[in-house]
Amino acid sequence: MRYAVVKLECIGDNETFYPTPWGMVKLLPSRAWIAKIVGYDSKYIYKRNFIKGIKDYSHANSVGSRGVYKYYHLTDGLYEIKSPQSWKWSDRYFAKVKEGKLKRITEEELIRWLEAEKDH
Taking only the tens place, the pLDDT of each residue in 18-44 is: 677 877 766 666 789 999 999 999 999
CB within 8 Å of 39: residues ≥ 6 apart: 46, 47, 114, 118
How many domains does the chain fold into? Answer: 1
What is this structure's pTM? 0.84
The arithmetic mean of pLDDT across residues 6-11, rounded, is 94
Q: Which domain holds residue 27?
A: 4-119
pLDDT more than 70, % of the chain: 92
The arithmetic mean of pLDDT across residues 82-90, rounded, is 92
Q: How far apart are CA 74 and CA 53, in angstroms?
A: 10
The CA-atom distances, in angstroms, between 86 and each of 16, 31, 90, 95 are 16, 11, 7, 21
